[in-house]
């Protein structure tokens, strides 16, 4: 067995084993699925799947590592940390997936399979008088054929009787990857038209920085929400770095709409491998993304099979990410969190 096959086997085994193992230990779980087919497209960022786990047992919490990361990354409350694990796989394809030799002016085929550690803290008064959430995620993984994204996609297409993508032999090459993502959110109440105990409006500005050979980028944006018990939630995630939310004290729900402006210095999935030639296109240095959707998080009785269940549904629209791209992209995002 080749070394990249061993790596893939380990990642797959971890993904399959993580939920039953962790369920026995209790904690918060996240399943995320992004897919463009639900938005009636089949191109570019075409599929992303992710499992997240925040354990409650001290033996499985990365207390020392998470605290060090939080301190280095200037968390407002580095001693109040929720630490967890993530595993995921992202897939990127050109628009024409039926061509055996892809168009060199279109986005190259690329896959990214990764394991990561996350740390998050929240405080009622951070840098300002508003509620603040700090998040750091460090992902390690593999890009290219060793990620097995092509095999995963075509296996799934065979199962659902959909035509297979034919150009995966021309994807960017295998390369170890590192991606560090730091996010800051503030929660600002806006308007309570029906009183303090009734549905209200708020706005959540956010800022994100990413560094690594996978991506170098910075982003800023804001989300407008209308809903109930907004003070117990920090709204949707932009990008793929989502952690499972802890069980709220009350039912939370919201309708949201938001946007993010992103400055991109490097994107391996567009620009190709770091130290060798590979398929590539020239990235656009500025990208805009809009997001609209709904979310709800229900606290269940503690003697039930689970303590809480959360559902996030959103539609994402993204402007052109590379110079030869002829139209913007869109996809749907589904997130399910279960609290045990």
**How do residues 330-339 score in pLDDT, each as one tens digit?**
999 999 999 9
Query: What's the distance, CA 3 to chain centroid?
Result: 27
Are 267 and 281 in contact, with CB atoms under 8 Å apart? no
Q: What pLDDT sits at residue 25?
A: 55
CA–CA separation, 333 vs 337, rounded Å? 13
Q: Residue 166: CB partners within 8 Å, gap ≥ 6? A: 97, 98, 99, 100
Q: Residue 176: CB partners within 8 Å, gap ≥ 6? A: 140, 141, 142, 143
Q: What pLDDT sits at residue 17?
A: 40
CA–CA separation, 295 vs 264, rounded Å? 29
**How do residues 4-55 score in pLDDT, each as one tens digit?**
444 444 444 444 444 443 344 589 999 999 999 887 888 999 999 999 999 9
Q: Which two tokens stand for residue 250?
A: 């009350």
Identify the segments of the chain with pLDDT beneath 50: 1-24
What CA–CA distances, in Å, run from 198 to 194, 223, 226, 293, 333?
5, 20, 11, 20, 28
Q: Domains, the chain, ranges and CATH?
A: 3-19+26-339 (2.40.128.140)
CA–CA separation, 239 vs 208, rounded Å? 10
CA–CA separation, 222 vs 57, rounded Å? 34
Taking the CA atoms of 88, 329, 269 and 238 in sequence, report the sign of the dihedral they define. Answer: negative
Q: What pLDDT sits at residue 126?
A: 78
Least Cα distance to 260 among 223, 230, 294 occurs for 223
Q: What pLDDT sits at residue 258?
A: 98
Are 292 and 315 in contact, with CB atoms under 8 Å apart? yes
Q: How many CB atoms lie within 10 A of CB 191?
A: 10
């Amino acid at each position: 067995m080749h070394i990249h096959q061993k790596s893939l086997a380990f990642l797959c085994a971890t993904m399959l084993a993580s939920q039953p193992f962790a369920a026995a230990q209790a904690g918060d779980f996240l399943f995320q699925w992004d897919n463009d087919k639900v938005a009636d497209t089949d191109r570019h960022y075409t599929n992303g799947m992710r499992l997240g786990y925040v354990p409650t047992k001290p033996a499985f919490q990365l207390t020392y590592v998470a605290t060090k990361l939080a301190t280095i990354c200037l968390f407002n409350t580095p001693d109040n940390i929720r630490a967890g694990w993530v595993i995921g796989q992202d897939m990127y394809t050109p628009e024409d997936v039926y061509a055996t030799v892809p168009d060199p002016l279109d986005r190259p085929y690329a896959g990214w399979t990764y394991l990561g550690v996350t740390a998050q803290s929240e405080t009622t008064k951070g840098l300002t008088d508003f509620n603040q959430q700090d998040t750091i995620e460090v992902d390690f993984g593999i890009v290219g054929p060793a990620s097995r994204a092509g095999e995963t996609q075509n296996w799934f297409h065979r199962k659902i009787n959909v035509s297979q993508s034919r150009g995966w032999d021309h994807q960017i090459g295998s390369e170890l990857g590192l991606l560090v993502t730091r996010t800051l959110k503030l929660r600002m109440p806006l308007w309570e038209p029906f009183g303090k105990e009734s549905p209200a409006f708020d706005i959540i500005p956010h800022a994100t920085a990413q560094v690594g050979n996978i991506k170098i980028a910075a982003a800023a944006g804001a989300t407008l929400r209308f809903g109930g018990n907004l003070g117990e939630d920090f709204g949707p995630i932009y990008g793929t770095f989502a952690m499972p939310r802890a069980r709220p004290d009350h039912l939370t729900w919201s309708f949201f709409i938001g946007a993010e402006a992103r400055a991109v210095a490097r994107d391996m999935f567009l620009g190709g491998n770091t130290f060798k030639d590979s398929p590539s296109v020239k990235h656009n240095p500025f990208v805009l993304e809009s997001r609209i959707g709904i979310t709800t998080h229900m606290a269940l009785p503690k003697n039930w099979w689970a303590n809480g269940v959360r559902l996030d549904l959103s539609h994402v629209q993204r402007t052109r990410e590379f110079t030869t791209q002829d139209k913007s992209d869109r996809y749907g995002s589904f997130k399910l969190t279960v609290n045990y």
